[in-house]
Chains A and B, each alone.
Chain A
């Protein structure tokens, strides 16, 4: 199927691109356009062209990974378009086709699956104190380091229920609930997407000579995180 038609099969594409008049208001408000080489107006224009070659290029580029998903463009677009939503559709297709490994920023998806995907399924929430390791998060500063090093006492002081059974802040999520989430991921393509990202990434790491004989690809992952 032509890439444009594949994009169109996602309801978010219908919601996000009614018709773009190329005014550039989205670019004017876009924080990503300010700090990165990124222009949502151009992106909308390329898609609207329905040109397969250009869309494929886009899916293989860093461009689509620059958006910060703030959705400021949605508020301002005079046509009610939402480039941020279109980005989600493009990223989805880029991952399904394996195109994401063709760009440096696209390859970062592997590191995100390993961090956030794993935490979500293991702890039931996307973030958990033990994953915000100060060495990897120097920006969190000395107060966070103090919290991190004294997790039990600090969270206890603040009435949390860290890693314990029952209700409350940062509690341990019961196995039956984690099993329901996992079953939903299996049923709805969530698990499959993790595997797709992993498989294409492994292939890429191998191609880049960054996979060890034991199948480990720590250097590849490190490189993704640190740029």
Chain B
């Protein structure tokens, strides 16, 4: 085996991740289904790591879901993204921290298209100017928010309250990492570790005491499929893909799944419920489902944050068995309590089954 060549190949996938001063680009799916993860990310960056990150009220969707469902032309997406780049400039910043994997993929696609076909960049500039009077610079650094947590994983570990271990056995928790397809499948050099050996999540898991589960369908898509989920008639596609993954990982008895794409995290959580309803099949060692975490939630757990501040009560698969395994100090009674100290809603929701 030619090790020299391998090392050289690996070098291609050590992407540069900016150190500080980020512009936060929110995600359509994350803010709906994991609002607590956004809060957790901002808290970790500002309070734990002392970084500066700008949360801009003028930011909007990148149109990614519309683009990949083909109702938004490429020219429109390019110009909306150009507007976002213009907002980054307005904020006096050069580094983007992108929360959505679809957005991250689309930014990369657009910047690469502009490099390859300069006339498309010129057109986007002209369109943006005509429509809004704006001008823009391409940001110096575009990182996914999971890249940033990966970069500072040791700093987070140094501030830990918990590790990813089973407190009873002392053994590492077995974690499945799921990388959103658009993170590195189109442009492998834009992701930590490329498309073949993405390290972005496994690096966090290993640094924080957990163990990664390597299973046959590790790189398979969660099945979102854009139009395949959005149109009810096509949803079987999404479900079948997640089922394929769950079946493949089940023999390894994972304690949790972690995803860097908000859509993947949501689907792998919700489809477990559907499979339990449709087929009576419940995954996980204790047949309670496999909890699915965002990497922000996983980092927050390592830092000992209140799980109900991070939104773990919004998950369909109950995360409490995982908290118990970790020996986590938390208040189960506070799960459905609102800011006014009162129970939210007339009845508590059914978790998992």
A residues adjacent to B (C-beta < 8 A): 10-12, 15, 31-32, 34-36, 65, 68-72, 74-75, 82, 88, 91-92, 95, 105, 108-109, 111-113, 115-117, 120, 124-129, 132, 136, 139-147, 149-150, 153-160, 166-171, 173-174, 177-178, 180-181, 183-190, 193-194, 197, 224-227
B127 and A126 contacting across the interface, CB-CB below 8 Å:
no
Task: Name the contact of A160 in the complex, choosing from B31, B237, B271, B313 (C-beta under 8 A).
Answer: B31
Q: Does B120 count as interface, using CB distance less than 8 angstroms?
A: yes
In whole angstroms, how far apart are the Cα atoms of A116 and B70 in the complex? 11
B273 and A139 contacting across the interface, CB-CB below 8 Å:
yes
B28 and A108 contacting across the interface, CB-CB below 8 Å:
no
Residues of A with C-beta under 8 A to B345: 146, 149-150, 153
A143-B314, A184-B79, A189-B76 known; A177+B60 contact, CB < 8 A: yes
B73 and A112 contacting across the interface, CB-CB below 8 Å:
no
A125-B31, A144-B270, A184-B83 known; A71+B105 contact, CB < 8 A: yes
A92-B73, A188-B127 known; A170+B57 contact, CB < 8 A: no
Q: Does B128 count as interface, using CB distance less than 8 angstroms?
A: yes
B315 and A112 contacting across the interface, CB-CB below 8 Å:
no
Give the A-B pair count, Cβ closer than 8 A. Answer: 257
Residues of B with C-beta under 8 A to A167: 55-57
Residues of A with C-beta under 8 A to B336: 146
Residues of B with C-beta under 8 A to A108: 227, 231, 233-234
Q: When each residue 12-55 of chain B gets 1 if its CB lies under 8 Å from chain A and 0 otherwise, what string results?
A: 00000000000000101101100110110000000000000001
A155 and B185 contacting across the interface, CB-CB below 8 Å:
no
B73 and A75 contacting across the interface, CB-CB below 8 Å:
no
Residues of A with C-beta under 8 A to B66: 116-117, 120, 126
A68 and B57 contacting across the interface, CB-CB below 8 Å:
no
CB distance from A107 to the nearest CB of B (A): 10
Q: Does B72 count as interface, using CB distance less than 8 angstroms?
A: yes
Q: Does B311 count as interface, using CB distance less than 8 angstroms?
A: yes
Q: Does B236 count as interface, using CB distance less than 8 angstroms?
A: yes
Residues of B with C-beta under 8 A to A142: 316, 349-351
In whole angstroms, how far apart are the Cα atoms of A82 and B270 in the complex? 30
A139-B273, A146-B349, A184-B127 known; A194+B80 contact, CB < 8 A: no
In whole angstroms, how far apart are the Cα atoms of A34 and B36 in the complex? 35
Residues of A with C-beta under 8 A to B337: 157
A126-B64, A174-B58 known; A184+B348 contact, CB < 8 A: no
A158-B311, A188-B76 known; A74+B185 contact, CB < 8 A: yes
B127 and A157 contacting across the interface, CB-CB below 8 Å:
no
Interface residue tally on B, bucketed by range: 35 or more
A11 and B120 contacting across the interface, CB-CB below 8 Å:
yes
B60 and A139 contacting across the interface, CB-CB below 8 Å:
no
Q: Does B125 count as interface, using CB distance less than 8 angstroms?
A: no
Q: Does B186 count as interface, using CB distance less than 8 angstroms?
A: yes
B39 and A158 contacting across the interface, CB-CB below 8 Å:
yes
A194 and B237 contacting across the interface, CB-CB below 8 Å:
no
Residues of B with C-beta under 8 A to A185: 76
User: Which residue from chain B places its CB closest to the CB of A225 in the assembled complex?
Assistant: B232
A68-B225, A158-B35 known; A124+B61 contact, CB < 8 A: yes
User: Which residue from chain B places its CB closest to the CB of A30 in the assembled complex?
Assistant: B221
Q: Does B75 count as interface, using CB distance less than 8 angstroms?
A: yes
B316 and A91 contacting across the interface, CB-CB below 8 Å:
no
B39 and A169 contacting across the interface, CB-CB below 8 Å:
yes
A36 and B316 contacting across the interface, CB-CB below 8 Å:
no
For the complex with contacts A70-B185, A158-B314, 4 further pairs of A-B residues with Cβ separation under 8 Å are A32-B237, A111-B231, A174-B58, A178-B60
Task: Name the contact of A189 in the complex, choosing from B28, B73, B117, B348 (C-beta under 8 A).
Answer: B73
Mark out the residues of chain B between 132 and 165 whose CB falls within 8 Å of any chain A CB in the assembled complex.
132, 134
Residues of A with C-beta under 8 A to B244: 34
CB distance from A71 to the nearest CB of B (A): 5
Task: Name the contact of B70 in the complex, choosing from A91, A141, A154, A183 (C-beta under 8 A).
Answer: A91
In whole angstroms, how far apart are the Cα atoms of A124 and B63 in the complex? 9
In whole angstroms, how far apart are the Cα atoms of A158 and B225 in the complex? 28
Residues of A with C-beta under 8 A to B117: 11
In whole angstroms, how far apart are the Cα atoms of A75 and B340 in the complex? 50
CB distance from A33 to the nearest CB of B (A): 11
With a 10 A CB-CB cut-off, give which of A82, A111, A184 has the most chain B CB atoms.
A184
Task: Name the contact of A72 in the complex, choosing from B56, B69, B181, B230 (C-beta under 8 A).
Answer: B181
List 20 A-B pairs, Cβ < 8 Å: A31-B220, A35-B240, A68-B223, A71-B185, A72-B181, A105-B234, A120-B66, A127-B65, A142-B316, A145-B349, A149-B345, A159-B35, A159-B36, A169-B39, A174-B57, A178-B60, A181-B60, A184-B83, A187-B127, A187-B130
Residues of A with C-beta under 8 A to B344: 146, 150, 153-154, 157
Q: Does B195 count as interface, using CB distance less than 8 angstroms?
A: yes
